[in-house]
Amino acid sequence: MDLGVTLPFFEDLINFDGTEMLKQVSVPTLIISGDRDAVTPFRFQEQMHNLARRSELLKVPYGSHCTQLDFPDFVNLKMADHIDRASQFEAPTSD
């Protein structure tokens, strides 16, 4: 990837603030974090969890930044469980 594209992309990524968007999330949401993630601090996942209503925060022991690759069966099981519970959720109707 061209450096002229890559650097602005990462600048935008670093400067992005999704706080207002997270406050609007009203559907069941699963946030997965590895407890050994050296890339994204856990406080960021906690912040997302606190802002997104109906969110569930799963901290995976021994998981890295790529927890889904570290423990695919465990993550898939947790996602399937979350989807099963979320399917019982009735979405709000707009008037």
What are the helix (H) ranges across 1-95?
3-15, 19-24, 42-51, 67-70, 72-86
Say if CB 48 and CB 31 are below 8 A apart: yes
Is 95's pLDDT higher than 60? no
Say if CB 7 and CB 41 are below 8 A apart: no
**92 inside domain:** no
**91 inside domain:** no
Spatial neighbors of 92 by CB under 8 A, at least 6 apart, are 26
**7 inside domain:** no
**93 inside domain:** no
Give the count of domains, the chain. 1
Within 10 angstroms of residue 75's Cβ, the number of other Cβ atoms is: 19
CA distance 28 to 33: 16
Is 94's pLDDT higher than 80? no
pLDDT tens-digit map of 33-89 = 999 999 999 999 999 999 999 999 999 999 999 999 999 999 999 999 999 999 886
pLDDT for 90: 64
pLDDT for 3: 87
